[in-house]
């Protein structure tokens, strides 16, 4: 078990309208320096299908997709003890501080990518932000109960906040 401080800055700008939060970056994400870096994670494929676009490959293409669609991305956890990429191993949580992000962007809705992120956000961040989050099913390959079709059906609700 290792105590790790979140190495990836929040991704947002003044045009961001929704915030999508994971729990804590995976080993692959920490290595790539950007969100959802594991090739088996379905996040980027899901967003590409949602917007009818090709799946972004590079960090630059991923950032461009988020920016064009007014999506902010970050995680609920600032630092924690974690073994590898396992959400179930997370302990000693220090939550992220969303003050700066919410001051800079007109965030209309907060979404959590999976139950662990939602649990952390609700317990530690909601009292600070006062903004409830909508829990979406995890895009992790560990969430095998949700195939792409089911995920797409659930995740399409983000479009309601992006007009």
Give tens-digit pLDDT for 81-98. 999 888 889 999 999 999
- Return the beta strands (E) in 2-141 as ranges: 2-5, 18-22, 71-75, 77-82, 91-95, 109-113, 133-136
Taking residues 74-87, what's their average pLDDT? Answer: 93
Count of domains observed in the chain: 1
Q: Is the pLDDT of residue 6 over 90?
A: yes
Q: Is residue 10 part of a domain?
A: yes
CATH number at residue 152: 3.40.470.10
Query: Cα separation of 144 and 23, whole Å?
Result: 18
Q: Is residue 103 part of a domain?
A: yes
Q: pLDDT-based confidence at 142, cuts 50/70/90? A: confident
Give tens-digit pLDDT for 27-45. 999 999 999 999 999 999 9
pLDDT at 10: 98
Chain mean pLDDT for the chain = 95
């Amino acid at each position: 078990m290792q105590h790790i401080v979140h190495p990836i800055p929040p991704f947002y700008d003044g045009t961001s309208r929704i915030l999508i939060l994971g729990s804590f970056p995976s080993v692959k994400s920490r290595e790539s320096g950007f969100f959802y870096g594991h090739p088996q994670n379905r996040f980027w494929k899901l967003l590409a299908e949602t917007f009818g676009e090709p799946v972004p490959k590079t960090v630059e293409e991923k950032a461009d997709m988020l920016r064009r669609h007014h999506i902010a991305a970050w995680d609920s956890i600032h630092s924690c003890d974690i073994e590898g990429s396992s959400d179930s191993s997370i302990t000693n949580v220090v939550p992220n501080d969303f003050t700066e992000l919410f001051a800079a962007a007109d965030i209309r809705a907060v979404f959590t990518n999976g139950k662990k992120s939602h649990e952390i956000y609700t317990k530690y961040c909601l009292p600070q932000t006062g903004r409830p989050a909508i829990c979406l099913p995890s895009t992790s390959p560990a969430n095998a109960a949700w195939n792409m079709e089911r995920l797409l059906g659930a995740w399409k609700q983000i479009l309601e906040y992006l007009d």
